[in-house]
């Protein structure tokens, strides 16, 4: 391309940018359209990009997404184009959400994460749509207050926010290979800085509890399906029928943040595969699913410490469910999950109900 032509293009771009800056969007769009009509290559880059910006500022979010997506497809390594596309997607998502088109909004937010897995607002928007009621730590606190466990086991202590919910006289056992405790514990606590598999292989939990009943356990350790599955199997061996085992991160909102391998900022892993596996092979368990922000809780009770179904079938079950896709999970969730409103009265009523039915 001749230098005189390049100079003309640069001057036109500066003129369009100046018009956009002062709010003269009509004239700016006319110049863009003029270039797009004259030069088909203009549609692949800067002029179509600017038309996308103008369309976005005019509030035509869906059309802006289409234009900017075309630009990104033709310039996949240009961060400026990608960033503006995510802006358009988020605005289109919010507009769809405000209009009541929730599935469309979810699609926009999920597309944002496909372009930028580390986007901060997209996961928050999805959580706000899919989750309701109290934050998961508040729900766990209510469970503590109601269950009043003699002993409490936690896998995945991390900074200690969930462990600190236990109050005297509860005796606590925490398992985490690399804890980063930031808060004080409020009751007698024994912390094991090892992996959970190693803990159950080397330690005698019954001896550690010293006669106390394991009434409550919270599993929030390594975020992989088979690890959480093993943790549940190991924990159940020490449970009474009315023990409550609580799982975190069991209700993902999108395929990016719930991927098996971490490719995003916010991440739940594929813990969610545990639920359909348990539902299929342990129908005797009562599973109460709560849409507690940010990624759901499941309360499991009516346990059987003597059951060997999961242990014996572990390898086959893992093989069966490890390839489950997010889209397949959504179908199972919508057809099989009976979620309880994230309201403590409803949760308490459901716990009492399933316990009664198991007697």
Give pLDDT, residue 45: 84
Structure confidence at residue 41 (pLDDT):
65
3-state secondary structure 330-350: HHHHHHHCCECCCCHHHHHHH
CA separation for the pair 196, 176 (Å, rounded) = 7
Quick: pLDDT tens for 316-356.
999 999 999 999 999 998 888 889 999 999 999 999 999 88
The alpha-helical segments, DSSP class H, found in 120-272 are 121-130, 136-147, 196-202, 205-209, 225-236
Span 279-300, pLDDT tens digits? 999 999 999 999 999 999 999 9
Would the pLDDT of 239 be above 80? yes
Closest CA relative to residue 153, chosen from 255, 232, 55, 69: 232
Give the per-residue pLDDT at 294: 95
φ, ψ at 55 (rounded to 5°): -60, -40
Q: What is the CATH number of domain 136-358?
A: 3.40.50.150
Tell me if 3-128 shares its fold with 136-358: no
**Looking at residue 117, what is its pLDDT?**
96
CA-CA distances (angstroms) from residue 141 to 108, 218, 286, 344?
34, 11, 21, 11
Determine whether 229 is exposed, middle or buried from the number of CB atoms within 10 Å of its CB (0-12, 13-18, 19+).
Answer: buried
Higher pLDDT, 334 or 312: 312
Tell me the pLDDT tens digit for each residue of 174-223: 999 999 999 999 999 999 999 999 999 999 999 999 999 999 999 999 99
Q: Give the C-alpha separation, 250 to 238, whole Å.
A: 22
Question: Interhelix angle for 121-130 vs 102-115, to 10°?
Answer: 150
> Residue 352, Cα to own-chain centre: how many angstroms?
28
What CATH number labels 3-128?
Answer: 1.25.40.10
Q: Using one digit for the tens of pLDDT, what is the confidence trace for 117-127?
A: 999 999 999 99
pLDDT value at position 1? Answer: 47
Compute how many other C-beta atoms are within 10 angstroms of the C-beta atom of residue 116.
18
Distance between CA 74 and CA 49 in Å, rounded? 11
Structure tokens at 32: 């863009």
What is the CB neighbour count within 10 angstroms for residue 26?
10
For the chain, the structural domain boundaries read 3-128, 136-358
Taking residues 49-63, report their average pLDDT. Answer: 95
Q: What is the pLDDT of residue 38?
A: 78
Q: Which of 181, 204, 183, 182 is nearest to 191 (CA)?
A: 181
Please report the pLDDT score of residue 9 as a whole number. 77
Give the pLDDT score at 305.
97
């Amino acid at each position: 391309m001749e230098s005189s032509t390049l100079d003309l293009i640069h001057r036109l771009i500066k003129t369009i940018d100046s018009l956009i800056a002062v709010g003269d969007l009509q004239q700016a769009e006319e110049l863009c359209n003029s270039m797009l009509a004259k030069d088909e290559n203009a549609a692949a880059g800067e002029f179509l990009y600017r038309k996308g910006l103008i369309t976005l500022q005019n509030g035509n979010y869906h059309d802006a997404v289409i234009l900017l997506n075309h630009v990104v497809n033709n310039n996949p390594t240009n961060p400026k184009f990608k960033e503006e596309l995510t802006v358009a997607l988020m605005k289109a998502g919010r507009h769809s959400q405000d209009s009541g088109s929730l599935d469309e909004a979810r699609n926009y937010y999920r597309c944002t994460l496909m372009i930028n897995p580390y986007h901060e607002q997209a996961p928050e928007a999805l959580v706000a749509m899919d989750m309701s009621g109290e934050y998961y730590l508040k729900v766990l606190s209510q469970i503590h207050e109601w269950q009043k466990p003699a002993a409490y086991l936690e896998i995945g202590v991390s900074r200690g926010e969930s462990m600190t919910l236990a109050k005297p006289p509860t005796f606590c056992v925490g398992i985490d290979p690399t804890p980063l405790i930031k808060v004080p514990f409020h009751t007698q606590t024994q912390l094991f800085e090892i992996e959970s598999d190693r803990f159950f292989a080397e330690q005698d939990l019954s001896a550690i509890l010293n006669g106390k009943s394991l009434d409550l356990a919270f599993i929030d350790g390594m975020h992989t399906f088979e690890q959480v599955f093993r943790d549940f199997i190991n924990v159940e061996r020490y449970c009474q029928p009315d023990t409550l085992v609580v799982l975190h991160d069991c209700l993902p909102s999108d395929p990016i943040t719930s991927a098996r391998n971490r490719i995003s900022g916010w991440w739940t892993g594929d813990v969610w595969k545990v639920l359909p596996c348990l539902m299929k092979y342990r129908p005797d368990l009562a599973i109460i699913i709560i849409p507690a922000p940010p990624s759901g809780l499941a309360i499991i009770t009516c346990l059987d410490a003597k059951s060997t179904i999961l242990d014996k079938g572990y390898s086959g079950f893992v093989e069966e469910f490890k390839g489950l896709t997010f889209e397949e999970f959504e179908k199972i969730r919508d057809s099989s999950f009976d979620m309880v409103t994230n309201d403590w009265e409803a949760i308490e009523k459901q716990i009492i109900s399933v316990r009664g039915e198991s007697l």
